[in-house]
Amino acid sequence: MNFDLRLPIGIMFSLFGLILVIFGAVSDKAIYEKHSLGININLGWGAVLLVFGVFMLFLTWRASIKPAQPQRRDKK
């Protein structure tokens, strides 16, 4: 079997989310006046990406503990 694809998706989007949230918190607010209607879209959308990434990681984790139990029984 191949590895669970949700793992790299989760890591990548959590990483992107973190980068945008941190950058959104420290960046000069003038860029949002110029581009995104005054909304700090880096902070806002970064949070969305972070939530999505963490959710994917949660799904990966949940899937990884489920099939592990019957496998252990097989070994005995």
Partner 1 sequence: MHIQLGGIDYAILLIYFGFVIGIGWVLKRHMKGSTDFFLSGRSIPAWVTGLAFLSANLGAQEVIGMAASGAKYGIMTSHFYWLGAIPAMVFLAIFMMPFYYGSRARSVPEYLKLRFDEKTRGFNAISFAVMTVFSSGISLHALAKLLQTLLGWDYNACIAVSAFIVLVYIFLGGLTSAIYNEVLQFFMIVLGFSPLVFLALKDIGGWSGLQQKLIPVATSQHFAAGTWSESWKHMGSSLENPMGVGWFGMTMGLGFVLSFGYWCTDFLVVQRAMAANSMSAARRTPLIAAIPKMLFPALVILPGMIAIAMYYAGDHFLPFVDNNPAKGIDYNMTIPMLLAKYFPTGLLGIGFTALMASFMSGMAGNVTAFNTVWTYDIYQSYLAPKKSDAHYLWMGRWATVFGILVSIGCAYLASKFNNIMDMLQLVFGFVNAPLFATFLLGMFWRRTTGHGAFFGLLGGTLGAAFFHGLALSEGADVGIKGGWIAKEFMFHSEMGQNFWMAIVAWTTCFALTIIISLATKRTKSDEELKGLVYSLTPKPETAHEPWYKQPVTVGILVLLATLILNIIFW
Contact residues for partner 1, defined by CB under 8 A: 1-3, 5, 8-9, 11-13, 15-16, 19-20, 23-24, 27, 31-32, 34-37, 39, 41-42, 45-46, 48-49, 52
Q: Which is nearer to partner 1, 19 or 73 (CB)?
A: 19
**Closest Cα to residue 46, out of 28, 21, 29?**
21
Q: Which is nearer to partner 1, 9 or 61 (CB)?
A: 9
Q: Which is nearer to partner 1, 34 or 73 (CB)?
A: 34
Asked if 1 contacts 48 with a C-beta cutoff of 8 angstroms, the reply is no
